[in-house]
A and B are shown apart, each in its own frame.
Chain A
């Protein structure tokens, strides 16, 4: 059994080669001959945590502007489509990520496009005005015009007092987006969209040497820029429980309980990732079994990690059954947290969580674009090789570690609670 597991482990190391250009651009290549495609992924080390508190949502607005064309390539999408590719991007609290997936024989088109928009962007006022209006509608569509859509908008400023995680990537308020101007757009671009602040990761049916040569050809002459220093305020440890009650036109109450935890690279992350899987990762996990089925308090009960690079949150999120008192429901969640320190999780539970982790990991490696992003992500955390070290981190988590981490994390003083209640009829 041990041998089988070890073989599986070694078989699924993600191999890659790395190279750094003189201007600071880091290039990573993973060769996957099982696909006719290739993904070119560019990660910029700039997210909403790097924004001015008076101008939040800017990193994400900027992501939209990156598709608005340049002097040489006015329509970004046209060459991507001509080459048979697809592309998209996302922004979160930590970073902004762009990718193009296309047939491997058109790889150079992706390099041409990405190097062009790294070198210069058309930041005309009218393009900005239009994207401000698009992002405002995105804000409304995702966060306002959805039942329970503003839950996380409420949580961040409650859980964080000083760290920029106190606002979400979409921004603290629509008014911030409306205020954005092209001078601050230019400043943001010059500061963060430089080779020394980016990671280029390529995965697919490609020869690494060819990729390095193309990287030099297209990105080599982009001016390096200064790598921006990140000096973020450190969130002080929370010592007292925080509570917020809101009323909204929704059919059922919702309970949020959020606890501060360690950073993405801390041991905390792996322990709590497995623990939250034991609590709510599948139908037979504790919360669905106990809180939903046996006690019939919740119709859904989930717990997950926010997963940011800096110290993040463990978030319990539960929709209550009809007629259940929210304090009584909270009490039941709390007693599940207490049980974690009073008794150890079972070997079977831990084994199940590890099996599920292994399946998920393999599942995510089916797609070359996932591999490209994961490599870039681990590189921005410090080292792309981290992608191959995580397995060991997960496998070595013990029941004792889970108990002590749970005891420390789920303290009442470390908790921010939201009672999201239906309006009185």
Chain B
């Protein structure tokens, strides 16, 4: 590397990813698997409960996110005020959220408060009542936040992108409207909860300095729920429309910047090209000195930032490039992105650039496994998407051995300009 050859510069030791193996789960009496990541000196435990209860399982739009948001709004034993008070008195943080594919509850607690916090976690997960009055207030607040988000070009562009990619009938491409908020009922939530928040669907991660301390406590609070063996339920295969690539424009009146997105259909996490695609996307727009950052931020000054990501939901992958630019530059930005992609389809990256990205990604992998909380996140990524226990080991191997020729092959396979979706959201 030219720079490390500078006179007097310290020698750089090639980073390694370290131990990327994942722990085997321990089963509770009722078969719920518990994955433990232990290390560190701070006397805290982070315990996460995960269910396949994301948007993809919805029969009624918004049921997944609203059911998740309502978990602490009342249970068989306590009303919302009491529950919140009980949680907050312990000093614990308790957050619940639903995403496209899963929903869960994360608790972070001082180890000495563990018993109280687990009792509450069990209560909100398995006996929420979805009371009418709290539901009405929550829906009003969520609707207001939704209306505010309609003025964000980034939100409109993201929505238009997934609609274009997955189709409006797919749970990943469906557009939310005001009516969805108005027609949702507490009955929908109870139904969704009954079907999808089940002990036999759940797994648990425990991260902290002494995670095994949580086992007897989990056993005490959770093993009374459900019987039989944990079984990951089959997710419905997402309905995907056949969508046509092309350009989409969405008008967001009064905006002084436009959000520009370009993207392609990608691949799922268990696809043999997935790791190589990660490396290719990194080169294009994954770091500060990436091709896109150098061209569109550093040379043109069109934007504060531009990035590229390859990811996957259940059953469908995506590749997306996104940036916010001045309205005057949005078409030029799309052209520049095309040019940068074309360069990578027609020419190999240099050995220097390859080495740079290789080392950078090894460093990222090492940081991904630095500390128990990070390891717990890595575990989730693998279980939720059936990526395989050796996913990160294969990832590290790919990063270590991938060649410029293989990168070019990936760009030719997955970044075809005729198959690209281009989205602009901004004022007309």
Contact with A along B85-123 (1 / 0, CB 8 A): 101111111000000000000001110110000000000
B358-375 residues at the A interface, CB under 8 angstroms? 359-360, 362-364, 366-367, 370-371, 373
Known: A36-B370, A83-B15, A137-B304. A78 touches B1 (CB 8 A): yes
* A105 sits at the interface (CB 8 A): yes
* A86 sits at the interface (CB 8 A): yes
Closest-CB distance, B215 to chain A (whole angstroms): 21
* A266 sits at the interface (CB 8 A): no
Q: Which chain A positions have C-beta within 8 A of B253? A: 249
Query: Which one of A34, A289, A356 lies within 8 Å of B40 (CB-CB)?
Result: A34
Known: A36-B370, A137-B303, A250-B148. A284 touches B12 (CB 8 A): no
* B298 sits at the interface (CB 8 A): yes
- The interface stretch among B2-10, B48-56, B238-246, B339-347 is B2-10
Q: Is the interface of B mostly helix, strand, loop or mixed?
A: mixed
Q: Which chain B positions have C-beta within 8 A of A11? A: 43
* B163 sits at the interface (CB 8 A): no
Closest-CB distance, A339 to chain B (whole angstroms): 17
In the bound complex, what is the Cα–Cα distance between A354 and B87 (angstroms)?
A: 14
* B324 sits at the interface (CB 8 A): yes
Contact A355 B90 (CB under 8 A): yes
Closest-CB distance, A384 to chain B (whole angstroms): 19
Nearest-neighbor residue (CB-CB) of B294 within chain A:
A75
A277-336 residues at the B interface, CB under 8 angstroms? 282-285, 288-289, 292-293, 296, 299-300, 319, 321-322
Nearest-neighbor residue (CB-CB) of A72 within chain B:
B6
Query: Which one of B6, B13, B134, B140 lies within 8 Å of A299 (CB-CB)?
Result: B140
In the bound complex, what is the Cα–Cα distance between A103 and B110 (angstroms)?
A: 29
* A125 sits at the interface (CB 8 A): no
Query: Which one of B81, B91, B134, B360 lies within 8 Å of A358 (CB-CB)?
Result: B91
Closest-CB distance, B279 to chain A (whole angstroms): 13
In the bound complex, what is the Cα–Cα distance between A109 and B254 (angstroms)?
A: 47
Known: A112-B10, A322-B144. A78 touches B289 (CB 8 A): yes
Contact with A along B178-197 (1 / 0, CB 8 A): 00000000000000000000
Closest-CB distance, A136 to chain B (whole angstroms): 8
B320-361 residues at the A interface, CB under 8 angstroms? 324-326, 355-357, 359-360
Q: Which chain B positions have C-beta within 8 A of A322? A: 140, 144
Contact B6 A82 (CB under 8 A): no
In the bound complex, what is the Cα–Cα distance between A72 and B3 (angstroms)?
A: 9
Q: Which chain A positions have C-beta within 8 A of B90? A: 355
Known: A36-B366, A358-B91. A250 touches B151 (CB 8 A): yes
Q: Which chain A positions have C-beta within 8 A of B72? A: 283
In the bound complex, what is the Cα–Cα distance between A289 and B15 (angstroms)?
A: 50
Contact B3 A78 (CB under 8 A): yes
* A4 sits at the interface (CB 8 A): yes
Contact A101 B256 (CB under 8 A): no
Known: A81-B359, A146-B152. A75 touches B44 (CB 8 A): no
Q: Which chain A positions have C-beta within 8 A of B12? A: 79, 82-83, 106, 109
Closest-CB distance, A218 to chain B (whole angstroms): 9
In the bound complex, what is the Cα–Cα distance between A137 and B108 (angstroms)?
A: 37
* B232 sits at the interface (CB 8 A): no
Q: Which chain B positions have C-beta within 8 A of A285? A: 88
Interface size on B, residues (CB 8 A): 77
In the bound complex, what is the Cα–Cα distance between A82 and B356 (angstroms)?
A: 5
* A184 sits at the interface (CB 8 A): no
* B84 sits at the interface (CB 8 A): yes
- The interface stretch among A17-25, A235-243, A360-368 is A360-368
In the bound complex, what is the Cα–Cα distance between A366 and B89 (angstroms)?
A: 22
Known: A81-B356, A137-B257. A366 touches B44 (CB 8 A): yes
Q: Which chain A positions have C-beta within 8 A of B408? A: none
Contact B363 A83 (CB under 8 A): yes
Closest-CB distance, B156 to chain A (whole angstroms): 12
Contact A252 B148 (CB under 8 A): yes
* B301 sits at the interface (CB 8 A): yes
In the bound complex, what is the Cα–Cα distance between A422 and B255 (angstroms)?
A: 16
Query: Which one of B108, B362, B370, B373 lies within 8 Å of A359 (CB-CB)?
Result: B108
* B249 sits at the interface (CB 8 A): no
The CB with the most chain A CB atoms within 10 A, among B80, B92, B148, B152, is that of B148
* B416 sits at the interface (CB 8 A): no
Query: Which one of A81, A142, A289, A358 lies within 8 Å of B110 (CB-CB)?
Result: A358
* B229 sits at the interface (CB 8 A): no
Nearest-neighbor residue (CB-CB) of B362 within chain A:
A84
In the bound complex, what is the Cα–Cα distance between A354 and B88 (angstroms)?
A: 11
Contact A12 B42 (CB under 8 A): yes
* B385 sits at the interface (CB 8 A): no
In the bound complex, what is the Cα–Cα distance between A267 and B288 (angstroms)?
A: 41
Contact A73 B6 (CB under 8 A): yes
* B405 sits at the interface (CB 8 A): no
* A351 sits at the interface (CB 8 A): yes
In the bound complex, what is the Cα–Cα distance between A133 and B326 (angstroms)?
A: 10
In the bound complex, what is the Cα–Cα distance between A137 and B297 (angstroms)?
A: 10
Known: A106-B12, A106-B13, A293-B80. A84 touches B299 (CB 8 A): no
Q: Which chain B positions have C-beta within 8 A of A138? A: 304
* B130 sits at the interface (CB 8 A): no
* A183 sits at the interface (CB 8 A): no
Contact B303 A84 (CB under 8 A): no
Nearest-neighbor residue (CB-CB) of A249 within chain B:
B254
Closest-CB distance, A374 to chain B (whole angstroms): 14
Closest-CB distance, A420 to chain B (whole angstroms): 12
* A51 sits at the interface (CB 8 A): no
Contact B301 A134 (CB under 8 A): yes
Query: Which one of A12, A77, A146, A348 lies within 8 Å of B89 (CB-CB)?
Result: A348
Contact B325 A137 (CB under 8 A): yes
In the bound complex, what is the Cα–Cα distance between A148 and B355 (angstroms)?
A: 44
Nearest-neighbor residue (CB-CB) of B254 within chain A:
A249
In the bound complex, what is the Cα–Cα distance between A283 and B147 (angstroms)?
A: 23
* B39 sits at the interface (CB 8 A): yes
Q: Which chain A positions have C-beta within 8 A of B255? A: 145
In the bound complex, what is the Cα–Cα distance between A101 and B368 (angstroms)?
A: 13
* A396 sits at the interface (CB 8 A): no
Nearest-neighbor residue (CB-CB) of A282 within chain B:
B88
A110-169 residues at the B interface, CB under 8 angstroms? 111-112, 129-135, 137-138, 140-142, 144-148
In the bound complex, what is the Cα–Cα distance between A131 and B144 (angstroms)?
A: 36
Closest-CB distance, B9 to chain A (whole angstroms): 6
In the bound complex, what is the Cα–Cα distance between A142 and B256 (angstroms)?
A: 11
Q: Which chain A positions have C-beta within 8 A of B298? A: 130, 134
Contact A77 B151 (CB under 8 A): no
* B129 sits at the interface (CB 8 A): no
Closest-CB distance, A36 to chain B (whole angstroms): 6
In the bound complex, what is the Cα–Cα distance between A146 and B254 (angstroms)?
A: 11
Q: Show 17 A/B contacts (Cβ-Cβ < 8 Å), sorted by A.
A: A75-B289, A82-B359, A83-B15, A83-B359, A84-B360, A106-B10, A133-B302, A134-B301, A145-B256, A250-B148, A282-B87, A284-B81, A284-B85, A299-B141, A352-B91, A358-B110, A359-B109
Q: A34-B371, A73-B6, A289-B84 are in contact. List 9 more A-B contacts (CB 8 A).
A: A36-B370, A37-B366, A83-B359, A252-B144, A284-B88, A292-B137, A322-B144, A355-B89, A366-B44
The 5 A-B pairs with the shortest beta carbon distances in the complex, nearest first, are A84-B15, A84-B363, A355-B91, A133-B301, A284-B84
